[in-house]
Structure 1
Amino acid sequence: MAENPKLAAAMARLDTLTDWERRPRNRMRVGLEPARDLAARLGEPHERFRAVHVAGSKGKGSVSALIEAGLAHAGLTVGRYGSPHVEHVTERVSLGGHDVDPETLAVALTKVLDAYEAARREGTAAAEATWFDLLTLAAFVIFREAAIEWAVVEVGLGGRLDSTNIVDGEIAVVTNIGLEHTEILGDTRAKIAGEKAGIVKPGAVVATTLRPDDEAGRVIAARADALGCALVVSEAGEGATLAETNAALAGAVLDALGRRGVTGRAGEAVGARLLDGDTRARARLVGRMERFSLAGTPRPLKVVLDGAHVPFNIAAVLRDLGREPDLAGPCVAVVALARDKDAPGFLAELGRRATVLVCADAPSAARGRPAAELRAIAASLGIDSEAEPDARRAFLRGAELARRSGGWLLVTGSLYLVGALRGELRSGRLGTAASPPAP
């Protein structure tokens, strides 16, 4: 999209702050004091709407989008805040199922930046606010100004000390727990669950896919019990796809809201029935098992973009894609990973399905693992691979190999890699491409 000059100016100011999404996180400052100070300076915007708070290792964005779509289907005014974005920062804030317009984000972000600069002059806690802290408060200002009834708020990292945790979520969602960000959150699933369970507030409903007999689920259940919270464990059934698992959890959240007396415009309690086929299709996010087709002979090349970056998630993605009849041929994968990801575990899962990997540098260079290092890890696992640091050239090489083998192409490991390539795919700069409508 054409850059809005006001938003460009606000982002230029914001970009002088520390952006921990793109930097090594082992020295990361976490805490709620800067966000609380900013919120106070801005009139406590997070207290002007009701909230569903969503944490978890994977699936947060998809589950959040489904809850948002279900509440909107009921006729309620709803917003959603998520991260990271794939192509444009406006993707992070949604109003009524649509990305916020650049002008609205620019106005809100400017207000928050002004509050931040006042805090710096006065030496209060918000002087230590980060890029994510400020953007979070900008989203809350937007929600207040739009007078929304409900916000679905996705945790950025962890939960307990994440700046989104100033909201008082009536429903606390923990999608799942995998080993990620271990240098910050802990080196076991139980420790990570403790951080994510930090979003649970007294009297809330806790919704999760994790059973109480699971290592991480036990921690979630204990937190719910300690705070007098009802615990809801969603069941999608054995062999359920990621989409079905996410929809089951979102439906459980909507049912829980209905039991708490939340009704739609027609006066009927909200519930899982709101997630019909059209509603689920509207909730599809970019860069999550997103399909493209590149024209060519003798047949078009099928391309899938997915930002999975932890082993258990890429395993599930590959399992689901393996059910697609048009993806029955050999898989070639273009992959990039951040340094804080389990590269051996991820590549081992990827190598079970992909015949060859083209390793690229992550576009977030400060946190990215070099392509040559990824290739060395792949070689140690006995996986055929090549190194091409440039994302665009890596894609073109992957497409060449996939066409040669009569297979299909997967771009994965990093939403930043997906974002670097998606715009070029849509524009046709990587070959004539078409993205089919969401199922």
Structure 2
Amino acid sequence: MPDPSSRLTPNAGVDRSLRLIVDRPAHGVEDPLLDAVLNDLDRLTNWENRPRGAMRVNLDCIRDLSERLDYPELHFRSIHVTGTKGKSSTAALLEASLRKAGFKVGRYSSPHVDHIGERMTLDGEPVGERAMAEVLSRALDVFRTARRAGTAGQDATWFDLMTIAAFDLFRERGVEWAIVEAGLGGRLDSTNIVDSDIAIITNVELEHTDVLGDTRTKIAFEKAGIIKPGSVAVTPLTEMDDAGAVIAVKARAMGATLAVPTIPRDATLEERNALIAGAALDTLGERGVWEKSGSPYPRSLGNWLIDDAVLKAARLPGRMERLAVAVDAAGDVPVVIDGAHVPFNLRAVLNDLKRESDFSGPFTAVFSVARDKDAEGLLRVLQAEDVELVLTRATTRSRDPGELAAIAARLGLKHVVEPDPLVAYKGALHDAVENGRWVLVTGSLYLTGVVHG
């Protein structure tokens, strides 16, 4: 059991009116048209907000929608990214690099942290609310047509419609390169209708095991499904690794070139992502893609594009996000926000943070995790740390914090329960400033979104 004398008191001095922020409208958008469209969209199956346990068997739904919109995904070249950790950051690095090279770039990613427009970016900026409303309206129109006709598109999900709307937007805005992040797995993910030049698999660890399979090889098979004939597959996993061997077999079967960048064992997450993105850029250069920046001496694309400015531009909310948060007049608290939701991710985050003086000492972790994630595995990672937990609940899909408390008690972790995530965060900040600790917000990207809100 946790030490009953633990000094952690997350509710001390906290304004309970924060709960009103938690209960804000689900969309938080200002444009009334987008709000209305999102209300229509929310009536569909939302794979991000329902229990897993079942998965589609083909891509007929999204293909039907694509045909009805005249195949928008064929109007731009693409790089498809999947993986257990780092896919969003790798995608953002590629977006920033291709922008530096002079291309018009779109990026499609999920989930969002602060605003739904983050899911579709144009030249590094979230799409405006009215533009998003218009493309989603067109997607809903073809969905309704498919439903009346009784074709495959009638079974489209929330994510299907968001995906095809993003591709429609990219075509409309003349995007030359789209960086497309898979939502879940790869083979049967809505995004897999793109005919990508490059397929990136950042890594493979156990996640979504009820849908993707209960071994790394099964999950690798699903992720390797994004490799297209004659394309390039980029992964740091070698054939000596079980998952890497599955990817290599798939690449050979598709007649794809396999690029395996070497990642030093002591590489940070940012360095790892940069090496993977750099390898992808190298392959584009080798395939004859040159910069369009107006230089009198243009260069073929390569990892030279990734400089400090690109690294800075590619940093995303909720991914190793470092803040200094002022707490009243008491001073600043170092805070890290990272949505790590599998043990492999959390361990990598903590290993990186230990290299920095601000985050090398004791800390308070505000923790929430979805019901389908390995909560015990995540908490076991924290056993070796000087940490006190504030267990909370980010969304209706989150595991009950009382259940998390039972696991934490069994593991001997000091903890308290605060169901309201904003109250939990505010209390952790006060505890940290009073006791010389820093704060980690982790376990769920949805939790990071609540904290940002």
TM-score, normalised via structure 1 length? 0.94
Superposition pairs for residues 6-45 of structure 1, below 5 Å? 6-29=33-56, 31-45=58-72
SS in 1 for 2:96: helix
Report the equivalent of 2:361: 329
Where does the alignment leave 5 or more consecutive residues of structure 2 unmatched? 1-27
Could you tell me how far 1:298 is from its partner in structure 2? 4.9
Q: Name the amino acid aligned to 1:398.
A: A
Report the equivalent of 1:393: 423
Q: Name the amino acid aligned to 1:362.
A: A
CA contact (8 A) 1:170 1:204 kept: yes
Query: In the alignment, is residue 411 of structure 1 matched against residue 409 of structure 2?
Result: no
1:262 to 289, 295, 313: 289
SS in 2 for 1:94: strand
CA contact (8 A) 1:411 1:418 kept: yes
CA contact (8 A) 2:394 2:450 kept: no
Could you tell me how far 1:280 is from its partner in structure 2? 1.1
Q: Name the stretch that deviates more: 108-117 or 18-27.
A: 18-27
Deviations 1:181-234 (A, max 9, x none): 001100000000000000111111000111110111110011111211111111
Distance 1:238 1:175 in 2: 15
Q: Name the stretch that deviates more: 323-332 or 370-379.
A: 323-332
SS in 2 for 1:346: helix
Could you tell me how far 1:236 is from its partner in structure 2? 3.0
Report the equivalent of 1:436: none
CA contact (8 A) 2:29 2:129 kept: no
Q: Name the stretch that deviates more: 125-134 or 8-17.
A: 8-17
Query: In the alignment, is residue 279 of structure 1 matched against residue 310 of structure 2?
Result: yes
Query: In the alignment, is residue 53 of structure 1 matched against residue 107 of structure 2?
Result: no
1:304 to 313, 317, 336: 336
Distance 2:258 2:45 in 1: 37
Q: Name the amino acid aligned to 2:378.
A: F
Q: Comparing both chains, which one has the higher relative contact order based on Cα–Cα distances under 8 Å and sequence gaps of 6 or more?
A: 2
1:155 to 163, 174, 182: 182
- Number of matched pairs: 421
Superposition pairs for residues 44-83 of structure 1, below 5 Å? 44-83=71-110
Distance 2:440 2:81 in 1: 28
Superposition pairs for residues 82-231 of structure 1, below 5 Å? 82-231=109-258
Report the equivalent of 1:239: 266
Q: Name the amino acid aligned to 1:168.
A: D
Report the equivalent of 2:348: 316
SS in 2 for 1:169: coil
CA contact (8 A) 1:45 1:144 kept: yes
Report the equivalent of 1:421: 451
Distance 1:420 1:31 in 2: 34
Q: Name the amino acid aligned to 1:282.
A: A
Distance 1:206 1:387 in 2: 44
CA contact (8 A) 1:20 1:28 kept: no
Percent identity of equivalent pairs = 52
Distance 1:67 1:340 in 2: 30
CA contact (8 A) 2:56 2:188 kept: no
Q: Name the amino acid aligned to 1:131.
A: W
CA contact (8 A) 1:362 1:370 kept: no
Report the equivalent of 1:345: 377
Report the equivalent of 1:377: 407
1:294 to 325, 331, 350: 325
SS in 2 for 1:52: strand
Q: Name the amino acid aligned to 2:94.
A: I
Distance 1:354 1:206 in 2: 40
Report the equivalent of 1:426: none
Q: Name the amino acid aligned to 1:387.
A: V
SS in 1 for 2:409: helix
Distance 1:420 1:30 in 2: 33
Report the equivalent of 1:434: none
Distance 1:351 1:234 in 2: 33
Could you tell me how far 1:177 is from its partner in structure 2? 0.4
Could you tell me how far 1:268 is from its partner in structure 2? 2.0
Q: Name the amino acid aligned to 2:346.
A: I
CA contact (8 A) 2:330 2:433 kept: no
Q: Name the amino acid aligned to 1:24.
A: P
CA contact (8 A) 2:333 2:438 kept: yes
Q: Name the stretch that deviates more: 278-287 or 352-361.
A: 352-361
TM-score, normalised via structure 2 length? 0.91
Distance 2:271 2:64 in 1: 40
CA contact (8 A) 2:29 2:35 kept: no
Distance 2:149 2:94 in 1: 40
CA contact (8 A) 2:285 2:300 kept: yes
CA contact (8 A) 2:353 2:359 kept: yes
Where does the alignment leave 5 or more consecutive residues of structure 1 unmatched? 424-439
